[in-house]
Amino acid sequence: MLFRQLFDGESSTYTYLIADRTTKEALLVDPVFEQIERDCQLLEELGLTLKYCLETHIHADHITGTGKLREITGCLGIIPENSRIACADRFLKDQETLQLGEIILKAIATPGHTDSHLAHLVNGTHLLTGDALFIRGCGRTDFQSGDAATLYDSVTQRLFTLSDDILVYPGHDYRGHTVSTIGEEKKWNPRFVGRDKSNFITFMNNLNLPNPKKMMEAVPANKNCGKISEKI
């Protein structure tokens, strides 16, 4: 398996490139519109064919590159079920698998940051957590139908019950971290360690964070697979 972690500095977003080394088929998870040229160049340099673009959820802090990449490469845009996005080619549901050569991605429903969110377990070893679980943190729950109680259950019951040695690759990082493990996050993540659900809800409901800078632009665009207007 070819696995690459790519970073967008403006939104602190991680995009993941995954490919089967034999078939040369590839997918991108959470591509960023401003990084389309970078992603296409890497695909060309590595001799890969982009088959899928996956979204872990509808993003509020950046505009997805899925729509434009679909135009360029003919790939399929895949999002979580119940996202109510008419432009998607396919919807993934909890426990559904997606195969790419010998690579198998298993979808794990992890709502809470938004009401429709999927993590992806790749070949049983690499967990792409999107905005449900960060390295020593988690996604906020104060907009896009987010819910702190639901996120607590998603992380503690769906992710922390996985094997401790599974690698954790988040959708964002704001402090320079790149990878963790389930075992590490169970032991050291301050959002969850020593907190029951009630305490977690109180904590999350009092973060008082400013809205993402691109929220008013990104959410409508991402509901249209990344199209800001008819000009794009």
Whether residue 222 is contained in a domain is answered as no
Whether residue 195 is contained in a domain is answered as yes
Whether residue 76 is contained in a domain is answered as yes
In CATH, what number is assigned to the domain containing residue 65? 3.60.15.10
Instruction: Give the count of beta carbons closer than 10 Å to the beta carbon of residue 211.
Output: 12
Q: Which residues contact 17 (CB under 8 A, 6 or more apart)?
A: 2, 3, 4, 6, 26, 27, 28, 39, 42, 43, 48
Whether residue 158 is contained in a domain is answered as yes
The residue segments making up the domain with residue 34 are: 2-209
- pLDDT digit of tens for each residue in the chain (232 aa)? 999 999 999 999 999 999 999 999 999 999 999 999 999 999 999 999 999 999 999 998 899 999 999 999 999 999 999 888 888 999 999 999 999 999 999 999 999 999 999 999 999 999 999 999 999 999 999 988 999 999 999 999 999 999 999 999 999 999 999 999 999 999 999 999 999 999 999 999 999 988 888 888 888 888 888 876 543 3
Instruction: Give the count of beta carbons closer than 10 Å to the beta carbon of residue 165.
Output: 10
How crowded is the C-beta side of 156, counted as CA atoms within 13 Å? 14
Considering its fold, how many domains does the chain have in total?
Answer: 1
Whether residue 151 is contained in a domain is answered as yes
The partner residues of 122 in beta bridges, in order of sequence, read 105, 126
Whether residue 232 is contained in a domain is answered as no
Q: What would the two tokens of residue 116 be? A: 């429709």
Round to whole Å and give the CA distance between 35 and 39.
Answer: 6
Whether residue 179 is contained in a domain is answered as yes
Placement of tokens 């503690």 in the chain: 156
Whether residue 228 is contained in a domain is answered as no
Round to whole Å and give the CA distance between 184 and 207.
Answer: 24
Residue type, 20: D
